[in-house]
Chains A and B, each alone.
Chain A
């Protein structure tokens, strides 16, 4: 029933049935089903001091009108909203949890290590394209490398290992290989790349020894690169 702006009554006026039906009945009927659109007789579109709202729990939400977002409670006890043009979503609470997922892009290489020189060489590498992190899903790529050096001559010294991304050194580590022949020294390091670019990238590991160190034989080197994300 349409709302009519309430009239101003004047003395000596004799209200008619039409007056009462229009001014009182119809306006009360309009108020009885008001929906707060802000139109006259429909209640303000701004509810400025509501204590709380008890929402009836219902089923799936239908699409609201253009330019609107529907908000309601579901039978499962969750709050739902549905923006026009989108899909129904469930409101998250502060106790929600996430799981860690890894992508299929897991690269592992383990190779023998021998005849290490005094400049970085003997690279282990592989390549893959990280997932796109420019949206709401952010990925990290974990790069892990280790190498075991074996003293082949009885002269110890410093041994080095570094990891690289796209040809650039990311991180370097070193340690001392003991003097006795057959002594072992294992170096390991890892690095977390936050949201790397989604382009084909070479991930590498390289080793070297200081001048005079007796060299290695029968060692190994290993490079693992794995992409993970929280979901």
Chain B
């Protein structure tokens, strides 16, 4: 569902069903599934004050992200994983790791 900029309201404008469906229903639906891509209605691409993120642990390997992207997720084995476009999935090491 595309995001539509709300038009400037003018006294005397008639708010009809089409207006409500475009600017209320469709925009709410867009916000409902926003993914912070940075586009209007999708949330900022910069999250500036996040306390923490609880990541779903996933069992299968990470798929390849889009060009110029790095995917970051957690694995069901309790590790954090990342995969850059064109690269392979890697596991984040912690400071307690040994060799």
13 pairs of residues in contact across A and B, judged by CB atoms under 8 Å: A6-B28, A6-B29, A8-B21, A24-B28, A31-B28, A48-B66, A49-B38, A61-B52, A67-B57, A89-B94, A92-B95, A98-B99, A138-B98
A193 close to B (CB within 8 Å): no
Contact B24 A48 (CB under 8 A): no
Contact of B96 among A15, A68, A89 (CB under 8 A): A89
Question: At the interface with chain B, which of A38-46, A160-168, A217-225?
Answer: A38-46
B78 close to A (CB within 8 Å): yes
Contact A83 B56 (CB under 8 A): no
Contact of B33 among A43, A52, A71 (CB under 8 A): A43
Contact B95 A89 (CB under 8 A): yes
Contact B50 A54 (CB under 8 A): yes
Contact B96 A53 (CB under 8 A): no
8 smallest beta-carbon distances between A and B, as pairs? A83-B78, A69-B74, A72-B52, A9-B20, A89-B94, A6-B25, A49-B37, A44-B35
A136 close to B (CB within 8 Å): yes
Minimum CB distance partner of A41 in chain B: B32
* Cα distance A6–B69 in the bound complex, in angstroms: 33
* Cα distance A3–B66 in the bound complex, in angstroms: 31
B11 close to A (CB within 8 Å): no
Contact string, B28-42, partner A, CB cutoff 8 A, digits 1/0? 110111111110000
The answer to whether residues A46 and B78 also contact, given A7-B25, A51-B45, A68-B55 and a CB cut-off of 8 A, is no
The answer to whether residues A8 and B25 also contact, given A40-B33, A48-B35 and a CB cut-off of 8 A, is yes
B92 close to A (CB within 8 Å): yes
A175 close to B (CB within 8 Å): no
The interface on chain A, measured as residues whose beta carbon lies within 8 A of the other chain's beta carbons, has a size of 60
Q: Chain A interface secondary structure, helix, strand, loop or mixed?
A: loop
Extra pairs beyond A41-B28, A53-B53, A55-B52 (15, CB < 8 Å): A6-B25, A8-B17, A9-B25, A13-B17, A23-B24, A40-B33, A41-B31, A43-B34, A48-B37, A49-B66, A50-B46, A56-B50, A67-B76, A90-B95, A136-B98
With a cutoff of 8 Å between Cβ atoms, the chain A residues found around residue B37 in the complex are 48-50
Contact of B93 among A46, A92, A231 (CB under 8 A): A92
Contact B98 A230 (CB under 8 A): yes
Contact B56 A68 (CB under 8 A): yes
B43 close to A (CB within 8 Å): yes
* Cα distance A40–B34 in the bound complex, in angstroms: 10
B84 close to A (CB within 8 Å): no
Contact B28 A27 (CB under 8 A): yes
Contact A47 B35 (CB under 8 A): yes
With a cutoff of 8 Å between Cβ atoms, the chain A residues found around residue B17 in the complex are 8-11, 13
A17 close to B (CB within 8 Å): no
Minimum CB distance partner of B57 in chain A: A67
The answer to whether residues A50 and B47 also contact, given A40-B33, A138-B98 and a CB cut-off of 8 A, is yes
A228 to chain B, nearest CB (A): 11
